[in-house]
Amino acid sequence: MSKPLNIGMIGYGFMGRAHSNAYNRVSNFFELDYHPVLKAVCARSADQVKAFAEKWGYESTETDWRKLIERKDIDAVDICVPNNLHKEIALAAAAAGKIILCEKPLAMNAAEGEEMCQAVEKAKVTNIVWYNYRRVPAVSLAKKLIDDGKLGRIFHYRANFLQDWTISTDLPQGGTALWRLDAAAAGSGVTGDLLAHCIDTAIWLNGGIKDVNAMTETFVKERTHQLTGKVEKVGIDDACTFMCHFDNGSLGLFESTRYARGHKALYTFEINGEHASIKWDLHDLHRLEYFDHRDEGRLRGWRSIHVTDAGGDHPYMDHWWVPGLQIGYEHSFVHQVADFLTGLGKGEPVGPTFRDALETQKICDAVLSSAQKGSWVKLG
Ligand code: SOE
């Protein structure tokens, strides 16, 4: 018999929906020691949070996150609010002995992230950060192929995360839905929001990063702030490009922007190894492109693997429909919850833990610092 895990979610935006959907779906598709129970959701507006709770099946609501954390019937706190609130909530949740699932990036910067790591480690509470793309089956397959040595020595890692939703100069900054444009709420722009995903996947697939050399740009320098109504300086990076050395000797090239007209969420990576290369594209997320130089010469070429097969060959796919029927973006969150609950059942940590996500945060800090100084920055 699976045991209940009572979830208290703080925040209910786009990510609140993605996480709630995952909690609702996971027990239908995975046999687990625990099943999530949507106990409470918390947000400032009583009416809106009630409407959200009804729609997604939460049993109760709170308007003060401290009350939610104090509740004895909450086992796990899901932090789904803007980045500037992550630390305070995580520290309080850890002190209350709650399990914590925190939306990415871990914090505003590495110093905050370090405090959060110390808090969860001192309180010995299980923790995880929602870097969901690791659990897209094609990305998980890439990890298996690399770990099995299919690519051999890695020479290059290239990643992009391109969007175009902030090009209009009329777009305000700050407040609901637009807090990602406000440095006081987000900490940084594309670096913490988008490159953080690319970095998390990269260090998971290809190991640690030694040093970085970056440039950033803020194309629109002033925007009206939704909360104050005043035109204020924009403090975030609209675009960021960096190169790096990985610990394994390979070279990295990363680019992210919200000014690539025509691209809504084009997250791609390509890895070139001694024997083989792989490519992945979020717009075609169920496919992994693979080229193997060891193939017979006359048949050699890029093959497009439709990562939907059963029988254990394709990660997670045994849990879904029948071979050939693909799944999507939301399933990466379901997989994260499934892995997390499996780890909880076994008493084992499941990554990315706060400590793992701190590594990404340190790299983001180094990238921003390098762009500011105009020089290489080494990682500790
Ligand atoms: C930004 O537009 C955003 O929603 C990020 O915040 C998410 O983390 C990313 O997965 C998609 O883009």
Residue from 246, 78, 267, 235 nearest 162 by CA: 267
DSSP H helices in 35-192: 46-56, 65-70, 86-95, 110-123, 137-147, 183-186, 190
Residue 170: predicted pLDDT: 96
CA distances from 281 to 95, 131, 289, 302 (A): 40, 16, 9, 14
Distance 194 CA to ligand 1 centre (A): 6
Please say whether the beta carbons of 94 and 117 come within 8 A: no
For residue 73, how many other CB atoms are within 10 A of its CB?
A: 12
Distance 163 CA to ligand 1 centre (A): 9
Distance CA 161, CA 362 (A): 19
Distance 193 CA to ligand 1 centre (A): 6
- Please name the helix (run of DSSP H) or strand (run of DSSP E) that holds residue 243, with its range, or none: strand 239-246
Mutational test site, ligand 1, from 194, 258, 267, 360, max ligand atoms within 8 Å of CB: 194
CA distances from 237 to 55, 154, 217, 375 (A): 35, 30, 6, 17
Residue 1: predicted pLDDT: 87
Residue from 265, 334, 297, 306 nearest 18 by CA: 334
Dihedral sign of CA atoms 178, 69, 67, 78 in order: positive
Residue 176: predicted pLDDT: 85
What domains lie within the chain, and their CATH numbers?
3-132 (3.40.50.720), 136-350+358-373 (3.30.360.10)
Phi, psi of 264 (to 5 degrees): -95, -45
Please say whether the beta carbons of 370 and 363 come within 8 A: no
Contacts of 128 (CB under 8 A, 6+ apart): 100, 101, 102, 336, 340, 350, 351, 352, 353, 354
Whether this model's pTM surpasses 0.95: yes
The token duo for 267 is 């997250």
Dihedral sign of CA atoms 334, 337, 341, 347 in order: positive
Residue 380: predicted pLDDT: 86
Residue ranges around ligand 1 (CB below 6 Å): 163, 193, 197, 265
Residue 272: predicted pLDDT: 99
Looking up tokens 């299980």 gives 126
pLDDT in tens for each of the 380 residues of the chain? 899 999 999 999 999 999 999 999 999 999 999 999 999 999 999 999 999 999 999 999 999 999 999 999 999 999 999 999 999 999 999 999 999 999 999 999 999 999 999 999 999 999 999 999 999 999 999 999 999 999 999 999 999 999 999 999 999 999 888 999 999 999 999 999 999 999 999 999 999 999 999 999 999 999 999 999 999 999 999 999 999 999 999 999 999 999 999 999 999 999 999 999 999 999 999 999 999 999 999 999 999 999 999 999 999 999 999 999 999 999 999 999 999 999 999 999 999 999 999 999 999 999 999 999 999 999 98
CA distances from 325 to 27, 132, 192, 200 (A): 20, 21, 34, 28
Residue 127: predicted pLDDT: 98
